Structure 1
Amino acid sequence: MNLSGTFRRLDPFSIAAFIVPLFIYLLTLAPTVTFFDSGEFITAIASLGTAHSPGYPLFINYAKPFTFLPLGSIAFRVNVATAISAASACYGVFFLTLYLLKDEQGAWEARLGRLSARLCALSAALTFACTARLWLQSNHDKPYPLLAFISAIVFWLMLLWRESYLEGRERPSYVYLGAFLVGLATGAHQIIVLMIPTYAWLLISADRRVVFRVKEFLIAFAFGFLGFGIHLHLVVRALQKPLLNWGDSKNLTQFLWNLLRKGYPVEKPPRDLGLLWAQVNAFNIPYEFTIVGMVLLVAGLAGFAVTRKRYLVFGYLIALASFLLVIVGYFNTPGELIFLTEEFFTPLYLLSAVFIGVGLFVVLREVGSHLPERSAVRGALLLPLFALPVAVCAMNYRENDQHQNYIAFDYASNTLRSLPQNAVMYTWGDSGAFPLWYLQGVERMREDLALPHTPHLVFDWYLDSMPVLFRGSRLYTLPMDQRYPENTLFLSVMEQYAKRPVYIDFSTRYSVAFQNFQLHQRGIIYRLDPPDFPSATLDSDVWGLYSTRGILGGSDMFFRDLDTGKAILIYGAALVESGETLLKLGEKEAGTRALDLAGRVSPEAGQQALQILRSYGVR
């Protein structure tokens, strides 16, 4: 075997399109669990279970082998899996860009040693790698980069079929493989179906008569259904009762409930122009690629619009219309939840990056064609090709550097440190619950505790998952139309109160009014006590057990997402409450320390702390 010949055939540009993004992602990788869905995803992956609807079985099975790597925590290993899938998506941009430009390399490109197309493709890949959206998805567990990579592969397969068909060669296997991958990709996220109109256009635009090939379309549908079979993971694993078994898809009813996201009924808001504009801006090319990237995208589309490749321009516009009509038009997401839809556009951003690479090539070709043939400036034109990815990287590096992001891990571990043996604590928000699931279920911390999640108490499948806590519970007897988080919480608390210490987290404290209990603070959580319990009590020693990495003003950790910011505000508000209580108890020194720390954690809390200190005559 001639290894030297093999290495000589390796394209260093294609290698760089994968390795450079991967290096950036590993450099900024989150070392452990983060907020939002992170703790839930990692717990599902570690137990080979089912995440929240629609289950994400492909992403779970893709990431599971990485959990056996002999480095870091389980969370870190899953984050590595995501970084690799994101780097693969960047390679998809390089490969597609180069494929679209293969017939555009004329005499001008030849005189430059056939470098221009490869360099443009590499620049597009690196620009895509450093966009805020993909970068944020790359350094902790997310399924969307994997989805984007598959969407690029299917796009390429449709182009292969089209090329072979126009050359008089039938290659239906390309379509069948593409259909299988689309079905499989629904196990990463169902938004892959929004790319189907574009894939269909690539076929139909070659010859409209292909729509009459019923047999081939039925075979393609069968292959798509075969790929969709990845969702049997939900059923098979539900029967095994894994650690995380969202929706318990043990029968057809529960399977469809999970697949169709029936657990997330959202009342659609009345739409005005302001909300519509905010929804449309969830897809934002200038924000992700800068104004220069937007100009290059237009140049790439315009460059192909006047050639025989205009079908590619229509394909992009069809994808754009498909995503906007469904995500903006049909979903009609409430304003406070629009940020959740931004990730859905990742496959469309990948396709945009491809046309930005094309636009870069078009601009270089047009400028170079007006220069003297032997001008040294021709070669110099290649030098600024990487100005765009460098600029985008510089803009987004600091905000996406998570290599010191321990805030979610510490918030969850601090919560666990606050609880006595065999306590039960009710959580409310997902970001307050999911890191706890990871620490207890995967890292095996504080397995003596029960941590029910209040919004899920309305579901029988969730009660079934905690038989020790809910066996024989009256919650099962409540009719479904009478199950609301508040009343199921109160009923469950009354059942548990006589058996074990009952606590609630900060979010629950400020979401529900506990009129029949006194709430006594213990750090960032609260103990429920009877009304006649002495009110002037405080467990202040728990603050000394807390880890505060990344939350003090002098920290080098800059990364702040929405829930990280909320966690910091919770620390600040809890310290203010603790400090004020200590002052009431006459513990002036301890109260002042707590209020001073509150100001160091959060400027908002600092203003409130200053007012409290003044009211007690403390300078």
Structure 2
Amino acid sequence: MLHSVLRRLDVFSILSFLLPLCIYLLTLAPSVTFFDSGEFITAISCLGSSHSPGYPLFINYAKPFTWLPFGSVAFRVNFATAISGALACYGAYLLSFWMLHSDGETGEAAVDPLLSRIAALAAALTLACSPRLWLQSNHDKPYPLVAFLVAIVLYLILRWRASYRAGAERPSYIYAAAFLSGLGTGAHQTIILMIPAYAFLILSMNWRIVFRIRDFIVALIFGVLGFAINLHLPIRASRLPLLNWGNPQTQDQFLWHFLRKGYPTERVERDLSLFWQQLNAFSVPYEFTLTGFLLMIIGMMAIFQRQKAEVIAYFLALFCFLLVIAGYFNTPLETIFLTEEFFTPLYLFSAVFVGIGIFFSSSKLLNFAVSRKLSQLPVKAVLIMIIFALPGSVCALNYVKNDQHLNYVAYDYASNVLRSAPREAVLYTWGDSGAFPLWYIQGVEKMREDLDLVHTPHLVFDWYLDEFPQLFKNSYLRRIPLESQSPENVLLVAVAEQYPRRPVLIDFSTRYSVPFGGYRLLQRGITYQ
């Protein structure tokens, strides 16, 4: 029996997970980093709610990793993200191999199944070493998990298409895909942008499927069951966890949180230059090099006659992502970089076609060598080196800038800020990078719990003032309409109230973001009192 199991194991699929995981572990951040890191880790540690839309799936996925018996909590959460990144690479392998190996109209993939596995592995490794996924897999980010879910949903739909084509349809594949799509909204809502591509892959088999009301209702039920992961937000909010962003206990607050209504809306006048920059947030040549981009085009052209639907689904997904992220969001130039990570599922889909392009290019080279009656062993050895030249070069290009294994900057910054603060002080922070590492150090590692860390941009929300009853229970801020106030003005009111009673500190960002007329600021460590 064991021999039978071992024979069925696909060594290349295992390598498509293990090799990326090894790369990520070599470059994994050892502790908290800047931007959202400290906030995510704190929310995961207390099973709370992070910034909108809350990310309940990512929080519940990473929580068991905090129980591991090694490393800090931050390292364990980073390890969880590395696992999800490696799973995304496995998803790319799975899709590449399926699209190459399952087609019955041509025998090319069946002639040399080993070559199709090697090409699929090269696709997985190319994705693993791409700058976007690699950066996200080095520290706590939900996007690799989203990409993995998208890959599995695509795989299930392709399996359903194969069963339908064979006359033995299995609707259970669609039900499972609907469940995972609903579940994926708890990792990031961009998974919704894949729905038109999913629908096209289904309806392109037979458009009359749209009239199968029973199957539609069952799939909808499974989707709603997956979406139920978002009930984590009000359920955990009722327990008042350490990090309870938005306090989504009520229906109104849940919708405010889930629909991201707390983010400021800035009207941007868009010209062609800005629109081009917004579109360039998605760039296959940047992720996979120009060679990878050309191989992707080759892969699409090679299978278009036999698998039109898959190629069209890719471009439909790309159109939906660009329409919403570049078109609807209309992101200002200085924050376009924040939208780049939303395209991670599309990069996985792109890597699949890169793998297909590698396979067909390699097949042509191999057939040429056979026609010339060249010695097979050296030809295959050279061919393998050529195949893995792409992931190798992508890895070499991105290794140094994605190597985070000695990155203690955010941890040192937060530790020094807290150590230098006087007892019972109130510290007002401004930017995410200035605040979130402090939240982790204080909330999870329990350093300087005597301090109150107040995030200035949140002072315009009543739910946030509720988090500090000792500071704001009887504050003047409770008697004014906060939604009409700017964070700068609210900060000045809060400082004026606290100044006579407690030491008041501001961080570097606040010092140079808000004019403090009438106050003399004294530098205290790397903060100002």
What amino acid maps onto 1:495 in structure 2?
E
1:416 paired to 2:414: no
SS at match of 1:71: coil
Q: 1:47 aligns to what?
A: 46
Amino acid at match of 2:271: D
1:380-423 Cα offsets, whole Å, 9 max, x none, are 42331100000000000000000000000001111111111111
Report deviation, 1:212: 1.5
Instruction: Please say if 1:273 is aligned against 2:275.
Output: no
Look up the SS of the partner of 2:453 in the other structure.
coil
The answer as to whether partners of 2:461 and 2:483 remain within 8 angstroms in 1 is no
Instruction: Give me the whole-angstrom Cα distance separating, in 2, the residues matched to 1:73 and 1:409.
Output: 12
- Retained in 2: the 8 A contact 1:32–1:409? yes
Matches within 5 A, 1:462-473: 462-473=464-475
The structural deviation recorded for 1:104 is 5.5
Query: Match of 1:451, SS?
Result: strand
Q: Which residue of 2 aligns with 1:314?
A: 312
1:361 is matched with: 359
2:384 is matched with 382
Q: Which moved more, 1:483-492 or 1:188-197?
A: 483-492
1:108–1:368 contact (8 Å) kept in structure 2: no
Structure 2 vs 1, CA of residues 107 and 61 (structure 1 numbering), >3 Å: closer, same or farther? closer
Which one of the candidate residues 492, 495, 506 is aligned to 2:494?
492
Within the candidate set 392, 395, 403, 2:394 is matched to: 392
- The whole-number CA distance in structure 2 between the counterparts of 1:39 and 1:371 is 55
User: CA-to-partner distance for each residue in 1:347-393, whole Å, 9 max, x for gaps?
Assistant: 00000000000011111222333343443265242331100000000
TM-score by length of 1: 0.83
Cα deviation for residue 54 of structure 1 reads: 0.2
- 2: CA distance between counterparts of 1:324 and 1:108? 35
Asked if the contact 1:124/1:357 (under 8 Å) is kept, the reply is yes
Counterparts of 1:348 and 1:243 in 2: how far apart (Å)? Answer: 35
Show the 5 A alignment for 1:16-55. Answer: 16-55=15-54
1:412-470 deviation line (CA, Å, top 9, x unaligned): 11111111111111111111000000000000000011111111011111111111222
Cα gap change, 1:303/1:477 in structure 2, threshold over 3 Å: closer, same or farther?
same
Aligned to 1:200: 199
Contact 1:116 1:382 in 2 (8 A): no
- Take 1:368 and 1:266, find their aligned partners in 2: how far apart are those partners? 56
Q: Which has the larger radius of gyration?
A: 1
Q: Secondary structure at the match of 1:457?
A: helix
Shift of 1:109: 5.8
1:83 aligned residue: 82
**455, 476, 479: which is aligned to 1:477?**
479
How far the C-alpha of 1:110 sits from its partner, in A, is 6.1
Kept after mapping to 2: 8 A contact 1:198/1:318 = yes
Where do 1:54-453 residues align within 5 Å?
54-103=53-102, 114-305=113-304, 307-373=305-371, 374-376=373-375, 378-379=379-380, 380-453=382-455
Deviation at 1:494, TM superposition (A): 1.3
Rounded Cα–Cα distance in structure 2 between residues aligned with 1:481 and 1:54: 20
Partner secondary structure for residue 468 of structure 1: helix
> Which secondary structure does the structure 2 equivalent of 1:199 belong to?
helix
Return the alpha-carbon distance in structure 2 between the equivalents of residues 170 and 18 of structure 1.
Answer: 30
Give the residue type in structure 1 aligned to 2:52.
S
> What secondary structure is seen at the aligned counterpart in 2 of 1:240?
coil
- Gaps spanning 5+ residues in structure 2: where? none
Output the CA distance in 1 between the equivalents of 2:32 and 2:154.
33
Q: Tell me how far apart the structure 2 counterparts of residues 94 and 262 of structure 1 sit (CA, whole Å).
A: 38
* CA–CA distance in structure 2, aligned partners of residues 489 and 461 of structure 1: 16
What amino acid is aligned across from residue 358 of structure 2 in structure 1?
L
| C-alpha separation in 2, matches of 1:266 and 1:408 | 29
Report the Cα offset of residue 311 of structure 1: 1.3
Partner of residue 504, structure 1: 506
Q: Compared with structure 1, are the counterparts of its residues 237 and 387 closer, same or farther at alpha carbon in structure 2 (3 Å cutoff)?
A: same
**Alpha carbon RMSD of aligned pairs, Å?**
1.4
Q: Distance in 2 between matches of 1:308 and 1:384?
A: 26
Q: Of the two structures, which has the highest relative contact order with CA contacts closer than 8 Å and spacing of 6 or more?
A: 2
| Residues 108 and 369, structure 1, Cα contact 8 Å, conserved in 2 | no
Tell me the matched-pair count.
Answer: 524
Shift of 1:132: 0.2
Deviation at 1:30, TM superposition (A): 0.3
